[in-house]
Amino acid sequence: MKIYRTKDYEEMSKKAAHIIAAQIVLKPDCVLGLATGSTPVGTYKNLVEWYKNGDLDFSALSSCNLDEYRGLSPENDQSYRYFMNTNLFDHVNIRKDHTFVPDGQEENSDKACQMYEQIIHDLGGIDLQLLGLGHNGHIGFNEPAEEFPKITHCVDLTESTIQANKRFFEKESDVPRQAYTMGIGTIMSAKKILVVVSGEDKADILSKIINGPITPQVPASILQLHPDVTIVADNAALSKVK
């Protein structure tokens, strides 16, 4: 694992954006694996800025997102498709029909997940996968479990996630109960992986990911086995790493 330490969130975002930009420059028709959540927002802002300055061209690349809520339409402002459109895709010259997110509207979960694996396969696999890190070590929606899930699958959201999400919806019954997510095997198949981590609240889990045992109880610990992982984290997030 290569670890870059930055002084704060802004510097982390810039460094991560530089790594993604380098990938795009070196292979303009690359396949980027993308993430939602709060951590990559600054990274996407830098990429948009560099595109607007004429320094980056997204016109040949494709993207695949990690996950999507089951049952939400792309227009729903809580869907991950909506997040990607508003934070990145709407602001750069990416071909929208070359951006992929699991199909949250496909009710048949086996079909939705198989289709997504097929899309990634047909694209020739992911060149660079961007990841955020959950407080319990989750990546995508792969939560602590007895074993590492291999391929894209449907997960039941935990009661605490449902409760945490309900503030974003009109009524509790609107909160999605399930999500489609790339599996750990899907993520590990990416040629390169870039993990962005910020803040003291991630310090404990980040030290476990880097130095702790590899266990499905800490899903991201498996990244220790990947041959090309770069972690970009700020001082606060790295404060417990010796």
Q: Going by C-beta distance under 8 Å and a sequence separation of 6 or more, which residues neighbour residue 25?
A: 56
Catalytic residue, chosen from 136, 174, 204, 235, is 136
Residue nearest to ligand F6R (CB): 132
- Closer by beta carbon to ligand F6R, 24 or else 139: 139
Which of 15, 70, 81, 138 forms a contact with ligand F6R (CB under 6 A)? 138
- Residues 20 to 79 in contact with ligand F6R, rule: CB under 6 A: 35-39, 66-67
230: three-class secondary structure by DSSP: strand
Strand order from edge to edge, sheet including 153-156: 67-69, 178-181, 153-156
Angle at 42 between CA 20 and CA 119, to 5 degrees: 50
Question: How deeply is 140 buried, as exposed, middle or buried, from its count of CB atoms within 10 A (0-12, 13-18, 19+)?
Answer: buried
143 is catalytic: yes
Q: Does 134 bind ligand F6R (CB under 6 A)?
A: yes
Q: Does 158 bind ligand F6R (CB under 6 A)?
A: no
- Closer by beta carbon to ligand F6R, 48 or else 187: 187
117 is catalytic: no
Tell the smallest beta-carbon distance from residue 197 to ligand F6R (Å): 8
Q: Does 137 bind ligand F6R (CB under 6 A)?
A: no
Angle at 142 between CA 184 and CA 159, to 5 degrees: 170
- Closer by beta carbon to ligand F6R, 60 or else 240: 240
192: three-class secondary structure by DSSP: strand
Q: Does 162 bind ligand F6R (CB under 6 A)?
A: no
Tell the smallest beta-carbon distance from residue 54 to ligand F6R (Å): 29
Which residue do the tokens 């880097």 mark?
Answer: 210
Neighbours of 187 (CB within 10 A): 25
User: Residues binding ligand F6R: what is the number (CB under 6 A)?
Assistant: 13
Tell the smallest beta-carbon distance from residue 140 to ligand F6R (Å): 4
Catalytic residue, chosen from 138, 142, 153, 234, is 138
Q: Which residues pair with 178 in a beta bridge?
A: 156
Tell the smallest beta-carbon distance from residue 170 to ligand F6R (Å): 22
136 is catalytic: yes
What's the DSSP call for residue 115? H
CA 236, CA 29: separation in Å to the nearest integer? 35
- Residues 200 to 219 in contact with ligand F6R, rule: CB under 6 A: none
CA 74, CA 82: separation in Å to the nearest integer? 6
Question: Which residues of this protein are in contact with ligand F6R, per CB under 6 A?
Answer: 35-39, 66-67, 132-134, 138-140
Active site residues: 67, 136, 138, 143
